[in-house]
Amino acid sequence: MNEKGEERSAEELHTILEEHKNHGKGLIPILLEVQKEFGYLPKEAMKKVAEVLGIRPVDVWGVATFFNQFRLTPLGKNHIKVCMGTACHLAGGRLVLEALERELKIKVGETSDDGHFSLERVACIGCCMLAPVMVIKDKIYPKMSSFKAEESLIPYRQESKPED
Ligand code: FES
């Protein structure tokens, strides 16, 4: 995030917390708003939330790590969603997810060290006839297998490579 982005986010965090003071919002709605603004829950923002709510930072951390809708790291440049709805699960979604974890050397909910890829499991995305399905950025990849999933990463990897 650049300096302007950081400034805007700091202002936005301030607005979210001010609104809490006025409306007495609970921890989870506040964390959801913080995540909407930053794309994840930065440690500094969680500390600030704890301070404003008058609770221990470890309690905010506990909630953030308990619910899997919260992210503790920023999304990668290429965010991958693997559908684990019923149709996709039955058609081998788990194998697709495991292949991506192996290939990218990250677990679900993590971002690669170079920031190029992040991985998430999602519920049904509404195209069950194409199961198992994954999405990279906004592009849907139908009828996936472990091999096809690994192969689908190639253009995104090439796009990420520095030019010679
Ligand atoms: S279960 Fe995957 S698209 Fe519906």
Question: Residues 45, 82: one domain?
Answer: no
For a substitution probing ligand 1, which of 96, 97, 128 has the most ligand atoms within 8 Å of its CB?
A: 128
**pLDDT at position 36:** 87
Question: Residues 102, 152: one domain?
Answer: yes
Q: Is 146 part of a structural domain of the chain?
A: yes
**pLDDT at position 14:** 79
**pLDDT at position 6:** 59
Ligand 1 lined by 82 (C-beta under 6 Å): no
Helix (H, G, I), strand (E, B) or coil at 69: coil
Question: What is the residue range of 84's domain?
Answer: 78-160
**pLDDT at position 18:** 78
| Residue 40 belongs to domain with CATH number | 1.10.10
Residue nearest to atom 1 of ligand 1 (CA): 85
Count of the separate structural domains present in the chain: 2
Question: Residues 82, 153: one domain?
Answer: yes
Question: Residues 62, 122: one domain?
Answer: no
Ligand 1 lined by 134 (C-beta under 6 Å): no
The 3-class SS string of 140-155 reads EECCCCHHHHHHHCHH
| Residue 134 belongs to domain with CATH number | 3.40.30.10
Question: Residues 84, 43: one domain?
Answer: no
Question: Residues 91, 24: one domain?
Answer: no
Question: Residues 89, 58: one domain?
Answer: no
Q: Is 71 part of a structural domain of the chain?
A: no
For the chain, 164 residues long, the average pLDDT of each consecutive 10-residue run is 59 79 80 89 92 92 89 91 97 97 93 93 95 96 97 90 58
Q: Which of 13, 8, 21 is nearest to 48 (CA)?
A: 13
Q: Is 108 part of a structural domain of the chain?
A: yes
Atom of ligand 1 nearest to the CA of 93: 2
Going along the chain, which residue ranges are E strands? Answer: 78-83, 117-122, 134-136, 139-141
Question: Residues 151, 82: one domain?
Answer: yes
Q: Is 89 part of a structural domain of the chain?
A: yes
